[in-house]
Amino acid sequence: MSRKRRIFDIEMPEEGSPETFPAGKKEDAGKPAEEPKPAKEAKPARRGPMATAISETAQSVRERQEAAAKIREENDSLAREHVRLKKLGLITDLVPLDKIATHKLVRDRAKGDDFELAELVASIRAIGLSNPIRVEALPDGTYELIQGYRRVSAFRALLDETGDAETWGKIPAGMVPQGENLEGLYRQMVDENLVRKDISFAEMAQLALNYAADPDTEENDPDRAVAVLFQSAGYQKRSYIRQFIKLVSVLGEDLNYPAEIPRALGLSLVSRMEEVEGVATAIRQELKGWDNRSIKDEIDVLRRYAGSGAPSGALSKPVKASTPGGRAKTTFQIDRPQGRAKCVAAAGRLEVRMDRDFTAVERRRLEQAVRDLLDSLDRGR
């Protein structure tokens, strides 16, 4: 059944008829319209909870991204600074003593007891280590020592003495970047040692010999090795080192105290060996089997053969520094809280030399101490 459509009749006003207005309209509606009043601000549309949550989440994500970017920038800056300091060897860490190796560089220290090590041990025990060693970190987790052999030795002595691994089991070390050439590492070690007051010409000569003998270095001539290693030294000093190379090459294995040879004596001895045939052989024969000789004993022998007060027949009939009934003096040193005691033992004589006023010790105490010492020696027979 079809729905009927409603039809509305609209009457249009005839032309010229008076204008009529709907109810509620003023007659002056045909007048010019007044200026519209400014519209009131539209109130913001009300947001639903879902839109609010999405907006807050987006803002939070932006803030986190900005914070992450700042952290990455700071980390990159710190990483660049770390690399810069590491290249300069200024990064320091605590390195376990048992992880430090001394294989890459041949040290310049002479073999034998280091009598001054006790002083370094006492200093480190009292005030700590003021100058870190330098090491090269190796891929296997160990460290190759570049500088600081005596400092490592002192820490090991303190560890053996105290057993305190927490305090003395690790040593402060500056990290040398990996990949530095061997010549550069030797130079670093040498330049540090050149400022040491106690380094001897014999030790420097031995280092040049070791450098030339090292299969990993390019220079095989000890004389030219001096020019490579001791570039910071003056010409005259390098000349002296080359002279001592001759001495150490010939007598190095026969000397117990090469580091104690003064510069003038070493140069005179080299000159004497070059002028007179058989000097080196005579010195070796004199020192052979003389195991308990002191520094003075050895230096006295070298002085005689260098011509310092030697008789004209010294080469054909050398005279040993000896005492009646015995080979020679026995000397040693003992470190005490009051200082170092130098002891000299010879036939019929026992001396203890120390920077201490023994006359201030009560006589009975001093007498009892000597008696106890002699009784102890007798029991040891």
In tens, the pLDDT along 135-185 reads 888 888 888 887 788 888 899 999 999 999 999 999 998 887 766 666 666
Query: So what's the pLDDT on residue 322?
Result: 39
Specify the CATH number of the domain 75-180: 3.90.1530.10
- DSSP H/E element including 100: strand 100-101
pLDDT the model gives residue 6: 58
**Beta carbons within 10 angstroms of residue 39's beta carbon:** 6
pLDDT at 224: 87
Distance (Å, rounded) from C-alpha 334 to C-alpha 354?
A: 10
**Confidence at residue 64, expressed as pLDDT on a 0 to 100 scale:** 86
The pLDDT tens digits of the residues spanning 206-239 come to 888 888 887 777 778 888 888 888 877 788 888 9
DSSP string, 231-276: TTS-HHHHHHHHHHHHHHHHHGGG-S-GGG--HHHHHHHHHHHHHS
CB 139 within 8 A of CB 131: no
pTM score, whole prediction? 0.44
Q: What pLDDT, on a 0 to 100 scale, did the predictor assign at position 159?
A: 93
**CA 119 – CA 6 distance, rounded (Å):** 124
Could you give the strand order of the β-sheet that contains 143-147, starting from the edge strand earlier in sequence?
92-96, 170-176, 133-137, 143-147, 100-101
Model pLDDT, residue 13: 58
Distance between CA atoms of residues 376 and 4, nearest Å: 144
User: Cα separations (Å) of 367 from 106, 353, 361, 363, 370?
Assistant: 49, 17, 10, 6, 5
- Do residues 217 and 183 touch, judged by C-beta distance below 8 A? yes
Burial degree of 180 (CB within 10 A; 0-12, 13-18, 19+): middle
Phi-psi region for residue 149, left (φ > 0), alpha (ψ -120 to 50) or beta? Answer: alpha
Check if the beta carbon of residue 237 is closer than 8 Å to that of residue 301: no
Report residues of the chain scoring pLDDT below 50: 108-112, 309-327
Predicted pLDDT at 190: 64
Collapsed DSSP state (helix, strand, coil) of residue 188? helix
Hey, what are 321's tokens? 């520094």
